[in-house]
């Protein structure tokens, strides 16, 4: 689903960015261009990024540490 219509940024692109280490909205904007035009998508983009970062952190919690 498109989150940012101005720059054609999808929810998948935001989740991928979070998986690649993006944790702040400023980083997301720099990497994808999301919400740097009209700004109408900012609330939804921020929420999508928050959810993706939380999911990535939860996944890491299950990774066993090396012995």
Residue 66 has pLDDT above 90, yes or no: no
Strand, helix or coil for residue 64: coil
Cα–Cα distance measured from residue 43 to residue 49, given in angstroms and rounded to the nearest whole number: 10
Half-sphere exposure of 39 (CA within 13 A, CB side): 1
Neighbours of 7 (CB within 10 A): 17
Q: What is the pLDDT of residues 1-53, one digit of tens each?
A: 999 999 999 999 999 999 999 999 999 999 999 999 999 999 999 999 999 99
* Partners of 9 in beta bridges: 4
* Partners of 4 in beta bridges: 9
């Amino acid at each position: 689903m498109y989150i940012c219509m101005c720059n054609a940024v999808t929810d998948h692109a935001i989740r991928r960015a979070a998986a690649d280490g993006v944790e702040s909205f400023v980083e997301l904007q720099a990497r994808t261009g999301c919400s740097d035009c009209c700004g109408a998508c900012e609330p939804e983009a921020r929420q999508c990024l928050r959810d993706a970062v939380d999911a990535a952190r939860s996944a890491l919690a299950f990774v066993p540490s090396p012995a």
